[in-house]
Amino acid sequence: MNLTAEQIQANWEEFISNIETHINGDRKQKLLDFYNKYQERIMLMPAAHKKEYHNSFPGGYVEHVNRVVRCAMKQCNLWAEEGADMTTFTREELVFSAINHDLGKMGDEENESYIPQTDKWRKEKLGEDYMFNTKVPFASVPDRGLFMLQSHGIQYTFNEMLAIQTHDGLYDEANKKYLFSYMPEQKPRTSLPFILHQADLMAARIEFEREWLPKLRGEKDSLDGQKKNFTLGSNANVKSTPSTKSKALGSIKSEGLKNMLDNL
Ligand SMILES: [Fe+2]
């Protein structure tokens, strides 16, 4: 799976537009400042370091997050139609949680979590374009995401903290304390965490299907595509016209990243 430079740029615009549209108050500008500060890193990040997971390609993170925002809003309507108590959270809390649910994947202020794979064998034989950056000390994705928000002065509500913390549902054992209780008073007082989890699950499943089902069916084109996807620098066959390319690259300041996008 590849994204063109234009798709990466369009996905970034959708990402920022979700903040512009749905986030209010003083944290709106803080969130915009935060994402503008780290724009070059975040717009090109993969959503995972291994192809076996999902969206492990340049721009995969933002593409995934945008899908989660869209799925969360659709799931929210479904829950409302079926009678869930919609007074327990706001639309802003839903979108804020979706936008930031995987933020911890970015790494810390200095270092990215996922960096280009340096092991030639793993890259060529296993198709791993990325590996974990050992400079980043371990923290769970939700913990790091919440830390990054608070360290940049971006406040979040109790509902948002709960939703971001538990967005992996019971796939993460650490969430049992919130989600596995039979005591009514210990259960979440809002459906927000469940809606976000369903949206994330749905998005990741769709991204898995798109990447893997054609390959598993042995479709020739997808196998060719798989080969082309194996290395970060192998996407030069995807053509962009000079005018669309320069528009898409207009907001990128780093020459290295411009060159990389130029080859997409
Ligand atoms: Fe996610």
Q: What is the pLDDT of residue 126?
A: 83
Distance 101 CA to ligand 1 centre (A): 6
> Which residue in 35, 66, 31 sits closest to 156, CA to CA?
31
Distance 155 CA to ligand 1 centre (A): 21
Mean pLDDT, residues 178-188 taken together: 94
pLDDT digits (tens, 9 = 90+) for 125-139: 887 888 989 999 999
Q: 28: pLDDT confidence band, cut at 50, 70 and 90?
A: very high
Distance 98 CA to ligand 1 centre (A): 8
pLDDT digits (tens, 9 = 90+) for 227-262: 444 335 433 333 444 444 445 556 666 555 655 565
Phi, psi dihedrals of residue 132, rounded to the nearest 5°: -70, 140
Mean pLDDT, residues 101-114 taken together: 94
pLDDT digits (tens, 9 = 90+) for 188-227: 999 999 999 999 999 999 999 999 999 999 986 554 444 4
Distance 165 CA to ligand 1 centre (A): 12
pLDDT digits (tens, 9 = 90+) for 146-162: 999 999 999 999 999 99
Distance 71 CA to ligand 1 centre (A): 11
The per-residue pLDDT of the chain, averaged, comes to 87
